[in-house]
Structure 1
């Protein structure tokens, strides 16, 4: 059996995306299922057409199932429809606006609330906080909504608009985070806290804080629980990263695939909640186990040739 995974980013660009794919591959391999990968990078000009093209390729190759990370809820609708018409189950990360067999749904809003609550324990009431938003994807948009709500209910003052392009890291990588953090620091000299929406953005933000002489002066919190973010927590440079337990999410995806292609279960837009996770604080960082120690990492097999 062969399963196609349509990755939203090139390998190495985002360690959390890498870990999810590795976890999915590991769970499928345990059941004798081969994973093949096609990358449809959402940052490329060919996207979202490249995502539909990847699914069409899978359909023509006769794969047994397709797993795709839904970046925006309306894509890849055409490719998914073609697969479903051929009775090839499409299983997604995040719930799209078009029919699929099943979806893993991240509790993004909750993550945002809990991140804000953690930051509130570190700052005084009415502290000034900025948020660096991300791409207009399903998960990141819901996360920012949760951050807004969490900051409001905890009494922290949100000083910027995270959806303003000046403060929005659509690149999803560290260098973009550095650029947007420099904009925040230039526009809001009185800043007590900063929430970069993900760990890659946080790493760039730490560079910006150091450049401006504010490292250690502004408390930072981010999401994903990636190895470099955990190390920053251990080093006392970062107040916490929310570990989404992405390895468990990949295993959940694998279990849905197994149910669909091995056990022949028929899903009808089934939604399964992903793990909520926990905040990795300085106290918890010492016990944190890197993803590659939880799951085996093997090179991906790209394409369907």
Structure 2
């Protein structure tokens, strides 16, 4: 009799637990729906009903933290993220991301940097942790640490467009035109048609010939200013970029449109970098960017690429893209095979 009673109690407890888990899952789904509709207060209210059933649920506490963050209540976002982090179980990465970003929004960027460094050691690294850490270093003007961490993010996820954009911004601020061009090119390749693409397109245009100026008193004289900050390994490439811009005024290029010159000079830029690359060059500029762009320059798809990445700021490119879907499909096939 005692065994039967004990078995009945166990089944009853399991049944209660099952019903409770089902209730939590339904409440979380409901809360997520409110969150996705930007009804953050309703989402939080729903999650808190779930918390009454399971106060230590990592899922529920994380979802509350996320909704508070989205609402702009960063202190509460930190509070509920801490509940997840203290349990040291599930959703650690997400909780670190939410808390770190909330600290930054609260003006505690240095504290956020410490947290992200801790999170990288705890979770063995993730590209979003490195990206956010690099972004925070950039915000406090520590460009060296910013670059180091952004490059680590790219190495872990080359398709994370934001990492390429911030890397372009870092080197644009340093005055390094070659590195700025390479990273902004790749950002536009990944994200050619967004609001951010306009900024990247502007950076690209500025650095592709930004060191060239004409002497007003001597119309036939062109001045080339090389960056004193750039590494010697890019000196030849930077000079070449400036000379490409200067070549627009040569007699042989008379009558060519800016679009035609952009395609020609982009091809020359990529090919010269490919020829400058040496086996000893281990940096991302050579092993990743130059390798890709050199192969692209040697293919038959360079014009398509140039039209594709400039569609956001060039009406001619936008129209070309609309009229040349076959060329785009062939470019896409080339990318898949390479």
The structure where strand makes up a greater share of residues is: 1
The structure where helix makes up a greater share of residues is: 2
Asked if TM exceeds 0.5, the reply is no
TM range, normalised to the smaller chain?
A: under 0.3
Larger radius of gyration: 2
Q: Greater RCO between the two (CA within 8 Å, min separation 6)?
A: 1
TM-score normalized by the length of structure 1: 0.22
TM-score normalized by the length of structure 2: 0.21
